Amino acid sequence: MAKSPPKQTERQASKVEKLARQRDVAELRLSAVPWRTIAAKVGVSTAQARRDFAAWMSSEYPPEERAAHRKRLIGQIDLIKRAQMPHALQGDEKAANVILRAIDMEARWFGLAEPAKVDVTVTEERIAAEVDAFLAGFAHAADADR
């Protein structure tokens, strides 16, 4: 008697469904479908649709295609900024907000919105030198008071 193949667990089925949803979100987004429409079609929130797209981009999308897509999006953002600039300069608040959001998005893509990394390595020698300098200054001030 032949063994039947093992049944998928709920977790495995859930993962397969999630990957299929991510692929569906990506196909729609790459076709320039708006986030709200994508979310409604796949039955998730717009925030989840964005997370699904990001997850798919980082795992499934070939790096060279990812770079081309990013370049296309940056070009679109540049066009939006150029189109909105005359309106923003005339005082249109909505146009100014569109430009600011576009600049913020570009900054995030280029890693400019991340906090700066600072090396705060301290060695024992440096601490000892700082303490010695402090004590020497303190001793000098005490001698001056006499």
pLDDT digits (tens, 9 = 90+) for 19-63: 889 889 988 988 888 999 999 999 999 999 999 988 887 776 677
- Other Cβ atoms closer than 10 A to 142: 9
Q: What is the count of structural domains for the chain?
A: 1
For 55-97, the pLDDT digits (tens) are 887 776 677 777 787 788 888 889 999 999 999 999 999 999 9
| Residue entry with tokens 């925030």 | 47
End-to-end alpha carbon distance in the chain: 104
State which residues form the domain around 24: 13-61
Where would I find the H helices in 31-62? 35-42, 46-59
Whether the pLDDT of residue 145 is over 70: the answer is: no
pTM tops 0.95: no
- Please state the φ and ψ torsions of residue 60, each to the nearest 5 degrees: -105, -30
